């Protein structure tokens, strides 16, 4: 696990919940064969419909002015936890550019954040971008080209839960996001030998860019 710089973060340096984040993002949804996914963490069950599961990929830049400012690449799967009836999403892979954000995600919500390097037109993710993320050894994790097509009127609000495997059972965390959304075309590229190889060669069925993004996590 790429944890350099994370384990040395003191508890009192981690911002308390909830975190208020702002910026821009690209979100894609995928319908994948459940058997192609990595095994879920203990206490977590992926929601399977006719052998397939809904997966979301998120590439975000959280700008200054929020609790923290950092870049993020995440993969979440629709899931349930043992003893919990409502579906949620379980974050199975996630990389961030800031050790403090990584330490906070792990310790507050059991989200398995690792560190990565991000490059490209990150400030324009909601309108169109070409971005790349690499691990600390320089290996490509993913790259994305997003082309905006048309605006979706109004402000798109989303609310839900993450559910992660904790020492005492599943940990459910409420989050809420709103922002200006744009329909678009997302060209994702995942190396066949990387940690996201289960997405290699696949195409999302819908992609959105989001500007003026306002997110709250740990409500």
Name residue 140's beta-bridge partners: 134
Q: How much is the pLDDT for 56?
A: 98
Residue 3 lies in a domain: no
The CATH number assigned to the domain holding 125 equals: 2.40.400.10
The pLDDT of residue 84 is above 70: no
Model confidence, pTM: 0.94
Q: How much is the pLDDT for 1?
A: 42
Locate 44 and state its tokens: 């977590």
Q: How much is the pLDDT for 156?
A: 83
Residue 4 lies in a domain: no
Residue 219 lies in a domain: no
More confident residue, 189 or 123: 189
Question: pLDDT tens digits, residue range 131-140?
Answer: 999 999 999 9
Q: How much is the pLDDT for 207?
A: 97
The pLDDT of residue 53 is above 50: yes
The pLDDT of residue 124 is above 80: no
Residues 6+ apart with CB under 8 A from 49: none
Q: How much is the pLDDT for 139?
A: 97
Residue 2 lies in a domain: no
pLDDT band at 80 (very low <50, low <70, confident <90, very high): confident
Q: How much is the pLDDT for 76?
A: 98
Of the chain, the end-to-end C-alpha distance in Å amounts to 28
Nearest alpha-carbon partner for 15 in 135, 100, 126: 100
Q: How much is the pLDDT for 161?
A: 93
pLDDT band at 91 (very low <50, low <70, confident <90, very high): very high
Q: How much is the pLDDT for 92?
A: 98
Q: Where are the beta strands (DSSP E) in the chain?
A: 19-33, 44-46, 52-62, 70-81, 88-96, 113-115, 117-120, 128-134, 140-151, 156-166, 169-189, 206-217
Residue 60 lies in a domain: yes
Question: pLDDT tens digits, residue range 158-184?
Answer: 899 999 999 888 999 999 999 999 999
Residue 33 lies in a domain: yes
- What's the half-sphere exposure (Cβ side, CA atoms, 13 Å) at 111? 28
The pLDDT of residue 3 is above 60: no
- CA–chain centroid gap for 179, Å, is 16
pLDDT band at 121 (very low <50, low <70, confident <90, very high): confident
Residue 154 lies in a domain: yes
119-135 per-residue burial string, b: 16 or more CB within 10 A, e: under 16: ebebebbbbbbebbbbb
Please state, in angstroms and as integers, the Cα–Cα distance from residue 168 to each residue in 51, 90, 185, following that order.
29, 16, 41
Domain range enclosing 117: 11-214
Count the domains in the chain: 1
Residue 5 lies in a domain: no
């Amino acid at each position: 696990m790429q944890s350099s710089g994370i384990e040395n973060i003191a508890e009192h340096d981690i911002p308390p919940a909830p975190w208020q984040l702002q910026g821009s993002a690209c979100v894609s949804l995928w319908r994948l064969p459940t058997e192609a996914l990595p095994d879920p963490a203990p206490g977590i069950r992926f929601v399977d419909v006719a052998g397939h599961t809904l997966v979301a990929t998120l590439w975000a830049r959280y700008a200054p002015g929020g609790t923290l400012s950092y870049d993020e690449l995440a993969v979440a799967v629709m899931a349930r936890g043992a003893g919990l009836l409502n579906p949620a999403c379980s974050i199975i892979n996630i990389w961030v550019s800031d050790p403090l954000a990584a330490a906070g995600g792990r310790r507050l919500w059991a989200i398995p954040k690792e560190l990565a390097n991000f490059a490209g037109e990150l400030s324009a993710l909601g309108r169109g971008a070409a971005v790349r993320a690499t691990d600390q050894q320089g290996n490509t994790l993913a790259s994305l080209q997003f082309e905006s097509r048309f605006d979706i009127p109004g402000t798109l609000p989303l609310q839900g839960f993450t559910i992660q495997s904790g020492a005492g059972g599943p940990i459910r965390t409420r989050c809420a996001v709103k922002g200006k959304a744009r329909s678009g075309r997302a060209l994702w590229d995942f190396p066949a030998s990387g940690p996201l190889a289960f997405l290699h060669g696949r195409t999302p069925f819908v992609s959105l860019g989001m500007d003026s993004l306002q997110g709250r996590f740990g409500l």
